[in-house]
Structure 1
Amino acid sequence: MILVFDVGNTNIVIGVYKSDELIDSWRIATDKDKTSDEYSMMIHYFFQYSNIDLKLVKDVIISSVVPNIMYSLEHAIRKLLNIEPLIVGPGVKTGMNIRYDNPKQVGADRIVNAVAAFEKYGGPLIIVDFGTATTFCAVSQNGDYLGGTISPGIKISSDALFQRAAKLPRVELIKPGKVICKNTNNSIQSGIIYGYVGLVEYIVKKMIQELGGKNVKVVATGGLSSLIASEANYIHIVDKLLTLDGLRIIYNRNKEERSKTV
């Protein structure tokens, strides 16, 4: 079995795979103040709760966009499993050409998503990841990572509105059913949700045009992907496991080299 970690700015998603099958997954809040012992205890608890033998984990791979958390997380893995984790970054084989001005600037999560989406669905394609930031990534017919767009995430936008407008309340992120609303809560929900649908639709439409406009698949992932996809005409596929599957795929492409060192 392999253990995979997708470390985002808001959450850490953890998955355990047996061959290509996801056995279980868990989500915890990202907290840079947690110690390695706390992370060790949490991992141990998850395995115990799911009745999975921790000793069966043979290797670990991590994708992270939060550098401050890595020391504690890596140390926890070394202490708990006696494994040096594989970190997605320069030198790791992804099987994908990065056509970015500076490939080192591309977030590891974006590359992991692109690898998984191309492997599972083929190209050309666009991946929309609804995370702390909403990222739009383009992959060519041949599987080259072409670049994309980054915008503030839905929760960031919602929190900014609540913090900056004194009389506006914090609201649950659900569809109000109508755009023309008759109370403040629903009006905010309408503006955030349907406004975001408009943002997604416009950016995806422009990206499809730049990709040639033919047979472009659009894959959505991330916590709020289903909410937006239900209103967005351009999103074809919702894949909540995309990043975890990408980590598994990248691990398999590096497994032979890892076997020499692990």
Structure 2
Amino acid sequence: MLLVVDVGNTNITFGVYDKKELVTTFRMMSKQPRTSDEYGISLRELLRLNHIEKKDIEGTIIASVVPGVMHSLTGALVRYIGTTPVIVGPGVKTGIRITSDNPREIGPDRIVDVVAAYELYGGPVLVLDFGTATTYDLVTEDGCFGVGITAPGIRISAKALWEDTAKLPEIEIKKPDSILAKETITSMQAGLVYGQIGQTEYIIRQVMKETGYENLKVVATGGLGRIIADATDMIQIYDRNLTLEGLRIIYEKNTGRKS
């Protein structure tokens, strides 16, 4: 089995693959400092609760946008799982040609997402990840990735509303039935969600206009991506496990492991 690890700004998401089948996922908070022992003990217990033994894990791979956790997390995988992880970064085979001005500035999570979208759905493809930030990344028909747009995520915008204004409360992020809100909570929900829908549709249209890609596929992922994908016909595919799939694909490209 393969253990894939996506270290994001909010959560660390773990997935376990048996060949191409994703058999389980679980999460930890990434902002809570942990030693390698704490990571290792928690990870082994989470695997056990999901009926997976340490000996079942044959390989691991990590993509991380939080450098501060890497020493402890990598040490935990080596000591408690018995594997040295592949770490997504410069020198790792992806099957995608990065054509941006400074490839080293591109986050590993974005690379993993575009690899998965291109391998699974083909190009040209625009990949939307509704995470802590909302990102829009373009892969051409021949597998080149050099264009990306970054915007504040929905949660960042929501947090700014209730932390930086004295009278606005913390709210659940969901799409209200109507944009014509008549009280504070639904007015905030309407602004956040309908605003994100409007931003999303405009950016997709502008990318299509400037590239001339009339056949552009649009694939979304990320925690709040389902809300937006369900509200617009400009997103064709919502794949909640896109990042985990990308990690699996990159691991196979770098180790020769066959699914």
Deviation by residue 1:173-227 (Cα, 9 ceiling, x = unmatched): 0111111111101100000000111111111111122221311000000000110
The answer as to 2:175 corresponding to 1:162 is: no
**Shift in Å at residue 32 of structure 1?**
4.8
**Shift in Å at residue 234 of structure 1?**
1.0
After superposition, where does 1:1-262 map in structure 2 within 5 Å?
1-256=1-256
CA RMSD of aligned residues (A): 1.1
Pick which of 53-62 and 240-249 moved more. Answer: 53-62
Deviation by residue 1:151-177 (Cα, 9 ceiling, x = unmatched): 011000000111111011111001111
Cα distance between partner residues in 1 of 2:14 and 2:215: 33
**Shift in Å at residue 146 of structure 1?**
2.4
Counterpart contact for 1:218–1:236, Cα < 8 Å: yes
Amino acid at match of 1:218: V
Counterpart contact for 1:131–1:153, Cα < 8 Å: yes
Cα distance between partner residues in 2 of 1:129 and 1:101: 22
1:145 match: secondary structure: strand
Amino acid at match of 1:101: D
Counterpart contact for 1:140–1:211, Cα < 8 Å: no
Deviation by residue 1:10-54 (Cα, 9 ceiling, x = unmatched): 111100111111111112211351111111122111111111122
1:148 match: secondary structure: strand
Structure 1 residue runs without a partner (length 5+): none
Cα distance between partner residues in 1 of 2:32 and 2:86: 20
Aligned residue pair count: 257
Cα distance between partner residues in 2 of 1:146 and 1:48: 41
Deviation by residue 1:40-81 (Cα, 9 ceiling, x = unmatched): 122111111111122111111000000011011001111102
Counterpart contact for 2:124–2:213, Cα < 8 Å: no
Amino acid at match of 2:101: D
Pick which of 242-251 and 25-34 moved more. Answer: 25-34
**Percent of aligned pairs sharing the same letter:** 47
1:240 match: secondary structure: coil
Amino acid at match of 1:85: P
Give TM-score scaled by structure 2 length: 0.97
Amino acid at match of 2:65: V
Amino acid at match of 1:204: I
Amino acid at match of 1:187: S
Counterpart contact for 2:3–2:60, Cα < 8 Å: yes
Counterpart contact for 1:32–1:68, Cα < 8 Å: no
2:61 match: secondary structure: strand
2:231 match: secondary structure: coil
Give TM-score scaled by structure 1 length: 0.96
Amino acid at match of 2:82: N
Pick which of 27-36 and 46-55 moved more. Answer: 27-36
Amino acid at match of 1:209: K
Structure 2 residue runs without a partner (length 5+): none
Amino acid at match of 1:236: Q
- State the 4+ residue runs in structure 1 displaced beyond 6 angstroms: none
